[in-house]
Amino acid sequence: MLAQAIAFVVETVFNIFILTALVRFWMQALRAPARNPLAQFTMALTDFAVKPMRRLLPGLFKLDIASLAVAWIGEVILLAILSLLQGVEIVNGAALSVILFLALVKLVRLTVYIVMGAVLLQALLSWVNPYHPVAPFFDALARPFLKPFQKAIPAIGGVDITPVLVLIACQLVLMLPVAWLEGEALRMIGRFIL
């Protein structure tokens, strides 16, 4: 019971940080405006880890590789802690390589969730308050995923249904390749349980 409580607290704290670092990566990759409270919070929460990492990993192709690396390292540490709490022996090189791979898959899952959240919030803000200070932020995050659908499917009766289609596509990505990769990685980790 105590191990479950510790795992819950550790997972919650790490997931907030990992999600914030990943949002920072996508925010900079998609050139989302940083002059809003959400972007400022993202920067403030992750600066302590991202700024030193930039000395080791400079940007590449105008991408903030340091933010992505911080998110990945955070996910690896989280998975290692959770694995140790479950009795998985991770000193083995094979177990560590599976954890490194599973961390990448988890980042893909979180990225899909970020896209889903950005699309949903952008759609809601466009209906309720399109001039809200965070509207351009969510628009910048959602636009690259909405645009291909908007080119293929025009608005029906003045209503843009492409956010629904993007959410369906994201759900399919989560259900098929991401779930399969996670299942395979977890099956491999199961071999290393003490």
Q: Which residues of the chain have pLDDT under 70?
A: 91, 192-194
**Stated pTM of the model:** 0.90
Q: The tokens of 153 are what?
A: 């499917």
Count structural domains, the chain: 1
What's the pLDDT score for residue 2? 84
Q: Which residue range is the domain that position 174 belongs to?
A: 2-190
Are the CB atoms for 27 and 43 separated by under 8 Å? Answer: no
What's the pLDDT score for residue 17? 97
Q: The tokens of 178 are what?
A: 């991401």
What's the pLDDT score for residue 123? 92
Write down how long the chain is. 194
Q: The tokens of 164 are what?
A: 């629904």
What's the pLDDT score for residue 180? 95
